[in-house]
Amino acid sequence: MNNPDEITLDVFGKILYALAMADGGIQKEEREALQKMVDQDDWAHRIKLSFDAAMNLEMDPKMVFYKNMRIFQTLKTDVHMPYFLDLMNRMANAYEGIVPEERALIENFNHKVNQSSVLV
């Protein structure tokens, strides 16, 4: 299986940032979960770079999510989607379980990705 392209990883990093911010702030445990992902998969480093850039710029998480979901939907369907969903769930679970705001973003991501793959 090929690695995801850089655009996909950049966009997904920003989506993960929005997810981490869904409960009001990025928790230490969420950052640790992201680092663990990077340690497990070399190419996930690009996701972390994008996540960190959004965090350092203090981007509005709602705008980031919707803008990057629109971009994500224009990308070709990626075989890594199950992996991306797993990363979202692991990050959301990292600090006191998945809160409703995080669950809504994960479900939205899953729905949009499945919707766009039907259109391809």
**109 half-sphere exposure, CB direction, 13 A CA radius:** 27
- Span 93-109, mean pLDDT? 92
- What integer is the mean pLDDT of 68-75? 86
pLDDT attached to residue 118: 44
Task: Delineate the domains of the chain, giving CATH numbers in brackets.
Answer: 6-119 (1.10.3680)
The confidence score (pLDDT) of residue 52 equals: 95
pLDDT tens digits, one per residue of 7-66: 999 999 999 999 999 988 999 999 999 999 889 888 889 999 999 999 999 999 999 999
Instruction: For residues 14 and 17, give the distance between their C-alpha atoms in angstroms, rounded to a whole number.
Output: 5
What's the mean per-residue pLDDT of the chain?
87
Contacts of 89 (CB under 8 A, 6+ apart): 98, 106
- What does the pLDDT read at residue 119? 43
